[in-house]
Structure 1
Amino acid sequence: MASQTIFNSESDEDNWVIQINQLVSETNLTILSKIPVCIYQVPKSLSCVMPEAFTPQLIAIGPYNHFCPELYPMERFKVCSAKRVLDYFNKHDFKHLVEQLHNTAPYIRACYHKYLDLKDDTLLYTIAIDALFLIELYHNYLDVKVSSSFLAGLEQAQMSGVKTKNAIIRDMIMVENQIPTYMLMRILSIGSSKPVDSVEEELGSMLLSFCDKHCPFKLTNKPITCSEAVSKYYHILDLMYHMAVSQQEKPDIVTLEIEDVTSSIEAGNYKRSSSENEDEDTMLKKVKDPIIWILGFLKKLKDMQIPRPIKRHIDAIVNISSIDYGSSETSPSKEKAPVVITIPSVCELHSVGIRFEPSQDGIIAIEFDEKKGIFYLPLIKLDVNSEVIMRNLVAHEALTKPNFLIFTKYTELMREIIDSEKDVKILKESNIIKSNSSLGIKEIEQLFNGMSKSIGPTKTKELDGTINKVTKYYHEKRKANLYRNFTEYVYSSWKFFTLLSTFVLLAMTAIQTVCTAYDCSKVLKRT
């Protein structure tokens, strides 16, 4: 069986040789060393749960999917958009525009993770058509407060129907369907006679307006200026990610090993003697096989269709299986199981008096006020596009920031605290979740329950600390409530218990008197 290859013909091989010679040149090596990869193809490990959320369904943008046969019918629509923008700028010669972009080919290739099996001219034509289409589309979102726009006379792009518009928006935000913001800026600079600073401000206004409209997270304080939206962020998905997470990133990540967990448990500060340890080890060996059998049974049960509240508790128990019961030493080469979030549901938290309020600064500001019993969560706006957008934000984070998976952690948290439609209702009443009429309570619950299943549980120090504080507060309040209810019940029923005790005492005294007179032991032996 022949091995697979990236080449389809001999011309592809010739093109590869040309590109390699270009890449190893001193100039291009400098570009590659300065420009990080920012546009990826989504691996199957991330897309397997919902592949359609990462594969364009209507329109292709960028070289990864531009020539996909299923999407190519929309090429005519993109070309018409490109022609309208060129006519507005009086740049009627599309070929001349592409020639002016010729020196950007190495930069474009450096941005994409996958090898682009395209000649420079083909690549530049692809980028130019798609960029002009995006410019016209983003113009629909231009902030009306911006005066003297250089696109003020450009005709608004017309999209047939709400479904088509939503499909295009979902495709635009996908990881694989991105174009570097630098190329949008370069093309606008060529077409406009305005100063570069003015062009940058207006492009940034368009991008920020698009993100404000479609980003699921509503920020009270916008941390990004129009200029920064163009100069600091690689593409529209990268910009939306930073708006959701907030600019005050704190990549303070801790890697928790099994030893760390056990040491924190042993922080009760009591020391056991060596004989106690030996007794415990002997007992542990005796119960090793039953424990392993029970954990194996729970793993099978977890895969069955069972209620989520029960499944959540089974997940926490199954996580114990990562510990080696047969040995006191842990092999350094053995991969440690990640920590699974265990936190009560919204209803359970609400039952002990915990209130939910929207935070003011995105996901990075998730916190818990123990004194007031307030759990601060970011306000999230949901519509028919939100699930695809959120999944691509998770994938973008996993591919570009593997050591700072704060957004992924947020989706895991929401998945764990939302077990039922009642949980969603409480969060809606607390202004944590807002949705339009097209998205019902059931759809919202299903959206969160399906999120982040393709990514293993993550470890983030600050958010993990917040989750632990909420869980601890819940259990302490629950114990206190049980004790208070029991005490109130006893105090409120003291007359009944006094009467009952008196009756029992009199009955026992009477029995004792009778047995003393008639020798009950002999009577019982006869019977």
Structure 2
Amino acid sequence: MGEIRSPYFSLGQYSPYFSHGGEDYHGDDAEIHPPYSSAGDYHGDNAEIHQTYSSAGDYVEIHPPYSSAGDYLGDNAEIHSPYSSAADYLADNTGIHSEALFHQDIYGNSCNAQQFVKHGKITRLVRVALKSEQESDVCIYRVDGALRKSNEAMYSPQLISIGPIHYGKKNLRFMERKKSEYYKQFWKDRVSKEGEYWKGAEDKFWNALEEHEYKIRQCYEDGSHEIKSSERFLDLILYDAVFIFELFLKYREGREKYINDSLLKEPGLRLVIRRDLILFENQLPFFILEKLYQLLPENIKGKNTEFITLACSYFKPHLPSNFSPAATMPLHFTDLVRSLLSYTRNSKSVGPIISFHNATKLRHAGVKFKVPLEHDCLLDVDFGNSGKEFHIPQLEIDGNTERLFRNLMAMEQRIYPGKEYICHYINLLRILVVEPKDAKLLMENKIVNYNDQVAVRDLIYRLASDTIDSHSCYHNIFSAVDVYCKSFWAKNRAYFEEELFGNFWKGVGTVSAVIFLVLSLVQTTCAVLGLR
């Protein structure tokens, strides 16, 4: 009853990879290239495969698209109208550009110093040896077992994989087609309009990725991915980066620009993609996105000359915050969202929590809960006005709230020990909301925007179960509240007001009782005087 669930788009289930020889994957209209001598040697589906072998013994692993959108079946998901199923939506409105979609793993002769792999229409040089660079800190982790066990779906992408951790999962493979389509649109429909810049532009991206491959890999926790092939690893980073650029640029251009886009015209899909891009495990290092973005012509970047401003224009309108991102470059999108919601300019001191008072008890002590007229971020909580008003920015609860906060909290616990400000905020709510009536009190005062007090209480408890801590950046507020509640006058006057005039009917009853008592006294006095 109390669980708040996200209206996820359908989780897809596809048929598994076909065999290496292609015998399980059949299609028509396939163009066969050497080394296959006939269609019987290789079966494709509207696909043109370009391969280059360094020797006859090379092994090629081909990841095909699925034969039909009907293989994409829903799992624990709600399908939004106008489509009755995921198969109805994920239909044939997108073409399969196989030369860009298929990722090949080519293992050549170990003595070869170089290999050439064809991508689209540009042949790129793949270096076997990694450049030695200064090791960068790990910033993208798998969520540990305890947190994941509580609700794995909260940490796993529902529609699109970004980066290597979730790459290749069956329920996410359909979006590889959209990545291929966006890849083509980005280079041929957007960048090519810049004239001469188009020539070799794709190679510039690839060379930048090669140069920073070691640093990119070092951003991922050891063992978080198993893609050993240099070419395949950089290929997926390239496609994911270009997809993000094209997505953000389309979003910046507005509804009139993407109303015919099969991916963006549906609000439900836009929402699921944005949710997936915030997940802690589903990230690309921000530094490489920034470096690739800087290679684009100025006309494409427009007013968003820095990638961080383009990213903020995509995420910020959907976050309850007026904060600008931190001056330092974020680690990835999860970190960027945290910087938009949390304290980024001034670090908050963290101290022990001395006392606990729930919202109802504070109300009995005369404390009023109010949404501040001005606040910088969601965590900008204050206890002021002579100790009578608790100022807490409004929290909008929707289907993505639990997922968002779980990922932010998981990231903080791995990357920001001692500065887990999102965790402290959730712990503050846990202290204030002990029973549904506490949630109701916050809802009545617009602190929480939702319509189910039990669901709000349960949501807060689920989130707080992973972050209970005796220290908080709100320790000064807890101390000030405790001092106020210990005041004799505050406690007694507030109790009197709450018990006798807490609501309209209590007030009517109290006034009626007082009038009845006065009339009774008058009547008694008159009776006594009459006897004389």
Question: Which TM-score band applies after superposition, normalised by the shorter structure?
Answer: 0.5 to 0.7
Q: What is aligned with 2:363?
A: 350
Structure 1 residue 373, shift from structure 2 partner: 0.5
Supply the distance in 2 between the matched residues of 1:409 and 1:485 (Cα, whole angstroms). 30
Supply the distance in 2 between the matched residues of 1:495 and 1:485 (Cα, whole angstroms). 25
Seen in structure 2, the aligned counterparts of structure 1 residues 143 and 36 have a Cα distance that, compared at 3 Å, is farther
- Share of identical aligned residues, percent? 21
Q: Indicate conservation of the 8 Å contact 2:383/2:391, yes or no.
A: yes
Q: Indicate conservation of the 8 Å contact 2:182/2:242, yes or no.
A: yes
Q: Indicate conservation of the 8 Å contact 1:381/1:434, yes or no.
A: yes
Instruction: Please point out which of 152, 166, 173 is paired with 2:278.
Output: 173
Supply the distance in 2 between the matched residues of 1:342 and 1:170 (Cα, whole angstroms). 36
Query: Are 1:410 and 2:425 matched, yes or no?
Result: yes
Supply the distance in 1 between the matched residues of 2:171 and 2:300 (Cα, whole angstroms). 40
Query: Are 1:48 and 2:149 matched, yes or no?
Result: yes
Seen in structure 2, the aligned counterparts of structure 1 residues 177 and 153 have a Cα distance that, compared at 3 Å, is closer
Query: Are 1:102 and 2:210 matched, yes or no?
Result: yes
Tell me the secondary structure at the aligned position of residue 378 of structure 1. coil
Q: Indicate conservation of the 8 Å contact 1:356/1:375, yes or no.
A: yes
Seen in structure 2, the aligned counterparts of structure 1 residues 114 and 232 have a Cα distance that, compared at 3 Å, is same
Structure 1 residue 100, shift from structure 2 partner: 4.5
Deviations 1:342-369 (A, max 9, x none): 6333233223321122341335532212
Supply the distance in 1 between the matched residues of 2:392 and 2:153 (Cα, whole angstroms). 29
Greater C-alpha Rg:
1
Amino acid at match of 1:67: G
Structure 1 residue 74, shift from structure 2 partner: 2.0
Q: Indicate conservation of the 8 Å contact 1:48/1:454, yes or no.
A: no
Q: What is aligned with 1:322?
A: none
Greater percentage in helix: 1
Query: Are 1:468 and 2:460 matched, yes or no?
Result: no
Seen in structure 2, the aligned counterparts of structure 1 residues 106 and 155 have a Cα distance that, compared at 3 Å, is farther
Supply the distance in 2 between the matched residues of 1:89 and 1:376 (Cα, whole angstroms). 49
Q: What is aligned with 2:317?
A: 213
Query: Are 1:84 and 2:193 matched, yes or no?
Result: no
Query: Are 1:188 and 2:188 matched, yes or no?
Result: no
Seen in structure 2, the aligned counterparts of structure 1 residues 136 and 156 have a Cα distance that, compared at 3 Å, is farther
Query: Are 1:397 and 2:498 matched, yes or no?
Result: no
TM-score normalised by structure 2 residue count: 0.60
Amino acid at match of 2:321: K
Supply the distance in 2 between the matched residues of 1:181 and 1:160 (Cα, whole angstroms). 27
Q: What is aligned with 1:388?
A: 403
Deviations 1:301-359 (A, max 9, x none): xxxxxxxxxxxxxxxxxxxxxxxxxxxxxxxxxxxxxx7x8633323322332112234
Deviations 1:17-75 (A, max 9, x none): xxxx967x7x42xx21xx32221111112223222111122211111111223322221
Supply the distance in 2 between the matched residues of 1:482 and 1:475 (Cα, whole angstroms). 13
Structure 1 residue 95, shift from structure 2 partner: 6.4
Query: Are 1:74 and 2:74 matched, yes or no?
Result: no
Q: What is aligned with 2:445?
A: 430
Structure 1 residue 449, shift from structure 2 partner: 2.4
Unaligned runs of 5+ residues in structure 1 are 1-10, 15-20, 145-151, 257-338, 498-527
Query: Are 1:250 and 2:355 matched, yes or no?
Result: no
Tell me the secondary structure at the aligned position of residue 178 of structure 1. coil
Q: Indicate conservation of the 8 Å contact 1:46/1:455, yes or no.
A: no
Q: What is aligned with 2:164?
A: 63
Seen in structure 2, the aligned counterparts of structure 1 residues 427 and 139 have a Cα distance that, compared at 3 Å, is farther
Supply the distance in 2 between the matched residues of 1:485 and 1:421 (Cα, whole angstroms). 18
Seen in structure 2, the aligned counterparts of structure 1 residues 54 and 363 have a Cα distance that, compared at 3 Å, is same
Structure 1 residue 143, shift from structure 2 partner: 8.1
Structure 1 residue 178, shift from structure 2 partner: 1.0
Seen in structure 2, the aligned counterparts of structure 1 residues 143 and 425 have a Cα distance that, compared at 3 Å, is farther
Query: Are 1:113 and 2:250 matched, yes or no?
Result: no
Supply the distance in 1 between the matched residues of 2:398 and 2:248 (Cα, whole angstroms). 20
Q: What is aligned with 1:262?
A: none
Q: Indicate conservation of the 8 Å contact 2:359/2:441, yes or no.
A: yes
Amino acid at match of 1:89: V
Seen in structure 2, the aligned counterparts of structure 1 residues 99 and 233 have a Cα distance that, compared at 3 Å, is same
Supply the distance in 2 between the matched residues of 1:485 and 1:208 (Cα, whole angstroms). 45
Tell me the secondary structure at the aligned position of residue 137 of structure 1. helix
Tell me the secondary structure at the aligned position of residue 396 of structure 2. strand
Seen in structure 2, the aligned counterparts of structure 1 residues 140 and 376 have a Cα distance that, compared at 3 Å, is farther
Seen in structure 2, the aligned counterparts of structure 1 residues 247 and 197 have a Cα distance that, compared at 3 Å, is farther
Q: CA RMSD in A?
A: 3.9
**Mapping of 1:13-24 within 5 angstroms?**
none
Supply the distance in 2 between the matched residues of 1:132 and 1:86 (Cα, whole angstroms). 9
Structure 1 residue 382, shift from structure 2 partner: 2.5
Supply the distance in 2 between the matched residues of 1:199 and 1:402 (Cα, whole angstroms). 33
Tell me the secondary structure at the aligned position of residue 368 of structure 1. strand
Q: What is aligned with 2:252?
A: 142
Seen in structure 2, the aligned counterparts of structure 1 residues 157 and 142 have a Cα distance that, compared at 3 Å, is farther
Tell me the secondary structure at the aligned position of residue 366 of structure 2. coil
Seen in structure 2, the aligned counterparts of structure 1 residues 156 and 208 have a Cα distance that, compared at 3 Å, is farther
Amino acid at match of 2:474: L
Structure 1 residue 82, shift from structure 2 partner: 1.9
Structure 1 residue 131, shift from structure 2 partner: 1.2
Q: Indicate conservation of the 8 Å contact 1:218/1:362, yes or no.
A: yes
Amino acid at match of 1:218: S
Structure 1 residue 140, shift from structure 2 partner: 4.4
Structure 1 residue 372, shift from structure 2 partner: 4.4
Deviations 1:238-260 (A, max 9, x none): 11101111323325334x6xxxx
Supply the distance in 1 between the matched residues of 2:191 and 2:412 (Cα, whole angstroms). 37
Q: Indicate conservation of the 8 Å contact 1:246/1:363, yes or no.
A: no
Supply the distance in 2 between the matched residues of 1:84 and 1:458 (Cα, whole angstroms). 52
Unaligned runs of 5+ residues in structure 2 are 1-106, 111-127, 193-197, 500-509, 522-532
Shifted more, 67-76 versus 84-93: the winner is 84-93
TM-score normalised by structure 1 residue count: 0.61
Structure 1 residue 471, shift from structure 2 partner: 3.5
Tell me the secondary structure at the aligned position of residue 371 of structure 2. strand
Seen in structure 2, the aligned counterparts of structure 1 residues 141 and 164 have a Cα distance that, compared at 3 Å, is closer
Shifted more, 184-193 versus 378-387: the winner is 184-193
**Mapping of 1:318-337 within 5 angstroms?**
none
Amino acid at match of 2:413: A
Q: Indicate conservation of the 8 Å contact 1:57/1:167, yes or no.
A: yes
Q: What is aligned with 1:127?
A: 237
Tell me the secondary structure at the aligned position of residue 170 of structure 2. coil
Supply the distance in 2 between the matched residues of 1:188 and 1:236 (Cα, whole angstroms). 15
Tell me the secondary structure at the aligned position of residue 98 of structure 1. helix
Supply the distance in 2 between the matched residues of 1:157 and 1:440 (Cα, whole angstroms). 35
Amino acid at match of 1:177: N
Q: Indicate conservation of the 8 Å contact 2:279/2:407, yes or no.
A: yes
Seen in structure 2, the aligned counterparts of structure 1 residues 472 and 417 have a Cα distance that, compared at 3 Å, is same
Tell me the secondary structure at the aligned position of residue 451 of structure 1. helix
Seen in structure 2, the aligned counterparts of structure 1 residues 103 and 76 have a Cα distance that, compared at 3 Å, is same
